[in-house]
Chains A and B, each alone.
Chain A
Amino acid sequence: MDQKIKHHLSDEILMAYAAGTLPEAFNLMVAAHVSLCDTCRAQLETFEALGGAVLEDAPGNDMALSDSAFAATMALIAGGPVDTPKSPRVVSDDVLPSPLCEYVGGGLASVKWKSIGMGVKQAILPTSKSATARLLSIPAGAAMPDHGHHGTEMTMVLQGAFIDDDEYFARGDVEVADSDLHHTPVADIHEDCICLAVTDAPLQFEGLLPKIAQRFARI
């Protein structure tokens, strides 16, 4: 467990994960970060406790069930577990915590990278369309691709590190960028930087390769 994480998830996003109101890609970010961060895991469980308290105490939230509901539930129970048994969890590796392994379908070696130029690679993970999650690999010392997003983007380091505006982001650290933030993170020189990036606006990457190449040319 990495205890050196300095840049955590916000209360707002942890609370939304606890409530179950985040888009899938952001749930993936929270699950991945919490896998690496005990501080945020404790905070998440606090927000789940808050959810439990709201469920328990909120006045007027209970809705009577039909008379046959109990018998129907006992019949469900007799039929065995409701949800299909999950396939055994893919074990995490040194870079990808298990929730990411599940989306990749294996460890780091199983990631289907696509080059997007200048040595930068990405792999879009299969989440619902309301938000996008992808893995990014940026060569050591190179700048992150400037991809112009409109919504909120969160980036978490999985391997290596990047520096942005004098702030250092290492494994487990999360940077949050709003649409109006112009930032130019640069991968640390020692190692290629692998990140999970999620955004709630459509990506402007695809089909824009020439434009991106242009931007790289300026670096």
Chain B
Amino acid sequence: MDISLQPSDGVKTPVPNKGVQISDRDTRRAPMTDETGKRMQWVTHLQRIRDEQDQKAFAELFSHFAPRVKGFLIRSGADATLAEECAQEVMATCWHKAHLFDPARASVATWIFTIARNRKIDVLRRERRPEPEDLGWGPEEDPAQADVLALQQESELLGKAIADLPAAQRDLIQKAYFGDLTHSEIAAETGLPLGTIKSRIRLALDRLRHAMK
């Protein structure tokens, strides 16, 4: 007996089942919130780039993320020309490394963020970038869609939690990630004592962690 497919109690708009059994790899039709749908769409885009060298998917990825990467690099201290150049390199790296993306462990935005961060350290700071030892396994060839969806939904929650933070806390977190400022430099910029900054960041993080539960 399948009780999930055909509710017989006259519900007109089928409530999307919370989508843990998506077998169809084409996630555009997956029942989920718009936001998660978007995230899943980026995942599919990367898979198309990986499997089919799909330029149309890449063009969409590019128009969404390249300006954000450029903004990140400018806020990190690059001039416009360098930031533009690096943003292009970051996007090219997305193409070349699409096979390394693990959608059960990161959102596409997170993955691109780490590539952009790495490029920032390579180019702006001209430093080597020590990385943790590999765990010994790469992304699964075809990770369980349930795991992928769960992760993408969690990153949506995280995004919402940030949006719900008081402006001052949100601003500090953004500075910590974008501004290339140490916490004491943040203090200098905002005129707040360091301890306050730290506890504000901690508070923001605690709230986020709470929201993620």
Contact = CB atoms under 8 A, between A and B. Distances in A.
Interface residues of B, number: 71
Given A12-B183, A49-B107, A19 B177 contact: yes
Nearest to B114: A48
A217 interface: no
A53 to B, nearest CB: 5
Q: Which of B112, B113, B121 has the most CB of A within 10 A?
A: B113
B71 A62 contact: yes
Contacts of A92: 133
Interface string A150-178: 00000000000000000000000000000
B159 A74 contact: no
B113 A52 contact: yes
Interface in A45-77: 45, 48-58, 60-66, 69-70, 72-74, 76-77
Interface in A6-32: 11-12, 15-16, 18-21, 24, 27-28, 30-32
Given A61-B178, A63-B74, A34 B114 contact: no
A6 B116 CA distance: 32
Interface string B129-157: 11111100000000000000000001100
B67 A51 contact: no
Interface of A: 11-12, 15-16, 18-21, 24, 27-28, 30-32, 34-35, 41, 44-45, 48-58, 60-66, 69-70, 72-74, 76-77, 80-83, 89, 92, 97-99, 102-103, 127-128
Given A11-B202, A20-B118, A61-B72, A52 B155 contact: yes
A61 B59 CA distance: 20
Interface stretch (B5-13, B21-29, B92-100): B92-100
A77 B109 CA distance: 20
Given A50-B173, A65-B84, A70-B62, A103 B91 contact: no
B113 A66 contact: no
A59 B55 CA distance: 27
A69 B88 contact: yes
B52 to A, nearest CB: 14
Interface in B167-202: 173-174, 176-178, 180-183, 198, 201-202
A166 B15 CA distance: 59
Given A52-B107, A62-B68, A62-B70, A89 B59 contact: no
23 contacts: A11-B205, A12-B198, A12-B201, A16-B176, A19-B180, A21-B176, A21-B182, A27-B130, A31-B132, A48-B114, A49-B107, A55-B68, A55-B110, A55-B113, A56-B68, A56-B159, A61-B72, A63-B70, A65-B88, A72-B88, A81-B96, A83-B93, A98-B134
Contacts of A69: 66, 84, 87-88
A55 B120 CA distance: 14
A61 B114 CA distance: 16
Given A57-B162, A77-B95, A81-B93, A52 B111 contact: yes
